[in-house]
């Protein structure tokens, strides 16, 4: 059997558009000799649909989309496996299922619902879906297919030290005589996932002595980036077919020869993360109905990276960089911003906030009388910049991209309604030290794009004379490992201090800053997830709480 791994980019809620994507890809697969075209999880609705699933109209129209696919398949020479939102059996606790349909020549041959529903990190499927009671092998053109949906294949008790679930759907299908396992997925990217998936599926293929096909969606949906990276593994655990990461493609796997098409992809995970950010930015902009973006271009490393990502995402002609110098801005900041804009070929504007800042200080002078200047005056500058960028956004219909990195967002080194103002926080899951790595990758791809001075000057918000980030924070080489250990690895202050050799009081102070600034993060623009634990939908902490680490 010749199986097509159809790695496509659906949009949540675009039922008609997603259906056309599936049919177009299925026809192209059939034209190249496919017997079966396999598509990702919930491909007809997009993933994750979240509370759209609570709308009766959405559920009804989702089923209508499946019926249209079945009818249209009459003219498609190959079979189709596609994910959809199904109706749960009468009397179920939930009204819908996360299901897969096997379709051929205008007929629905079989369905299979997801059994293991993840409810951790960014996943909340137990809130919506009724789990399948069992797994069943289905027949297609003489082959016994075992169809699993994403998490169903993530519970191999010989791979995981502590499996999350009691049952193993893959093991059940193998015991029923499945000749191949087809896994359809909506698996979001982080920097560990591409390698982990291959390790897991090659181990299962060797253990069960069966080929496994893994099909993942590609594209950005809100905070999640889906990398694709689909593949097929033969019964020996060898990667026999592989799709690229971060772009749509159709690759083939032949079950008789156990050979397939192998596309090249990223060998370096920092390079992969950059392309994840480009894809997530491009799709967020397009799927939200925008065409152009605005960036506050300070001449610093963070706004530099965001500008490079934006130019790659939507084209330089659709990016405007705006420098907003204030009373403490340096000449080199303007020079670096101007040089970057010229190198990227983006539009560049300069709007001074100094006149507005001086007017506001004069306005507030009577009520500020007797109070020494402090962070208030610094935040006024930041908020004037946010006001200016949002004014341009309103006037031009462009989306503002914020430029705060994960290190700053973690400890609250950012200003509500100031530098946090915007529609997408492109690098809010990128630690500061990784920002430098990504910028070096930009210059490796396009030498000379980023001025060398951007790399070597000390980071500064330039909100007071001679200000440096290190006045308020530890050096980022010290800060970032502490943040990773606490936020991503959930380690205690004592563990972190011991493992990293840092003073316990320093570790506690950083951790308490993280906890105290939850109120800021919950008012931030959505950010793109690239690490194992990002701020946003996968990290849920209360704001009004009194627990602090000791």
| Catalytic positions | 41, 114, 150
Identify the burial level of 130 via C-beta atoms within 10 angstroms of its C-beta, where 0-12 means exposed, 13-18 middle and 19 or more buried. buried
Alpha-carbon distance of 188 to 185, in angstroms, equals: 9
Closest CA to 203 of 167, 161, 166: 161
Alpha-carbon distance of 84 to 104, in angstroms, equals: 16
CB 108 within 8 A of CB 70: yes
Dihedrals phi, psi of 387, to nearest 5 degrees: -60, -45
CB 327 within 8 A of CB 354: yes
DSSP 60-128: HHHHHHHHHHHHHGGG-SSEEEEEEEEEPPTT-SSSEEEEEEEEETTEEEEEEE------STT--GGGT
CB 214 within 8 A of CB 38: no
Residue written as token pair 């563990």:
495
DSSP 38-58: E--TTTTT-S--GGGGG-HHH
Residues 6+ apart with CB under 8 A from 142: none
Alpha-carbon distance of 231 to 456, in angstroms, equals: 41
Go through the chain and tell me how many residues it has: 550
Residues 6+ apart with CB under 8 A from 60: none
Alpha-carbon distance of 145 to 177, in angstroms, equals: 9
Alpha-carbon distance of 401 to 285, in angstroms, equals: 10
Q: What six digits make up the tokens of 16?
A: 């008609």
């Amino acid at each position: 059997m010749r199986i097509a791994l159809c790695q496509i980019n659906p949009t949540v809620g675009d039922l008609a558009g997603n259906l056309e994507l599936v049919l177009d890809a299925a026809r192209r697969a059939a034209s190249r000799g496919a017997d079966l075209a396999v598509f990702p999880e919930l491909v007809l609705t997009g993933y994750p649909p979240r509370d759209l699933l609570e709308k009766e109209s959405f559920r009804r129209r989702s089923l209508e989309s499946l019926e249209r696919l079945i009818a249209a398949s009459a003219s498609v020479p190959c079979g189709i496996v596609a994910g959809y939102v199904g109706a749960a059996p009468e009397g179920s606790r939930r009204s819908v299922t996360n299901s897969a349909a096997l379709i051929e020549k205008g007929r629905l041959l079989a369905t299979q619902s997801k059994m293991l529903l993840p409810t951790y990190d960014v996943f909340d499927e137990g809130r919506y879906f009724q789990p399948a009671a069992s797994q069943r092998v289905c027949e297609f053109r003489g082959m016994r297919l075992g169809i699993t949906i994403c998490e169903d294949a993530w519970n191999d008790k010989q791979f995981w030290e502590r499996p999350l679930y009691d049952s193993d759907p893959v093991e059940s299908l193998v015991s029923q005589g499945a000749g191949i396992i087809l896994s359809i997925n909506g698996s979001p990217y982080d920097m560990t996932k591409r390698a982990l998936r291959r390790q897991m599926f090659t181990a299962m293929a060797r253990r069960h002595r069966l080929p496994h096909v893994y099909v993942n969606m590609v594209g950005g949906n809100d905070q999640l980036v889906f990398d694709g990276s689909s593949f097929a593994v033969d019964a020996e655990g060898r990667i026999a077919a592989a799709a690229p990461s971060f772009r749509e493609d159709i690759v083939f796997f032949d079950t008789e020869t156990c050979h397939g098409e192998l596309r090249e992809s990223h060998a370096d995970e920092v390079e992969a993360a950059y392309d994840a950010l480009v894809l997530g930015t491009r799709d967020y902009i397009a799927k939200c109905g925008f065409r152009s973006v605005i960036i506050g271009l300070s001449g610093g490393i963070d706004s530099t990276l965001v500008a490079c990502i934006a130019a790659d995402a939507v084209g330089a002609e659709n990016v405007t960089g705006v420098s907003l110098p204030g009373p403490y801005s340096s000449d080199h900041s303007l020079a670096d911003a101007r040089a970057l804009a010229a190198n990227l070929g983006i539009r560049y504007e300069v709007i001074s906030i100094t006149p507005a800042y001086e007017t506001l200080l004069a306005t507030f002078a009577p009520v500020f009388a007797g109070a020494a200047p402090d962070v208030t005056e610094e935040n006024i500058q930041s908020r004037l910049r946010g006001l200016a960028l949002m004014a341009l956004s309103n006037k031009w219909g462009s989306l503002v991209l914020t430029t705060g990195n994960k290190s700053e967002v973690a400890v609250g080194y950012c200003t509500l309604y100031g530098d946090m103002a915007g529609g997408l926080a492109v690098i809010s899951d990128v630690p500061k030290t990784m920002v430098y790595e990504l910028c070096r990758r930009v210059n490796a791809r396009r030498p000379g794009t980023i001025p060398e001075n951007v790399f070597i000057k000390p980071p500064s918000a330039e909100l007071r004379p001679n200000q440096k980030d290190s006045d308020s924070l530890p050096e980022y080489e010290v800060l970032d490992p502490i943040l990773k250990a606490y936020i991503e690895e959930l380690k205690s202050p004592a563990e972190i201090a011991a493992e990293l050799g840092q003073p316990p009081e320093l570790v506690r102070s950083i951790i308490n800053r993280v906890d105290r600034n939850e109120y800021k993060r919950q008012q931030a623009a959505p950010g793109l997830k690239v690490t194992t634990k990002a701020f946003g939908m996968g990290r849920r902490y209360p704001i009004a709480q009194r627990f602090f680490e000791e």
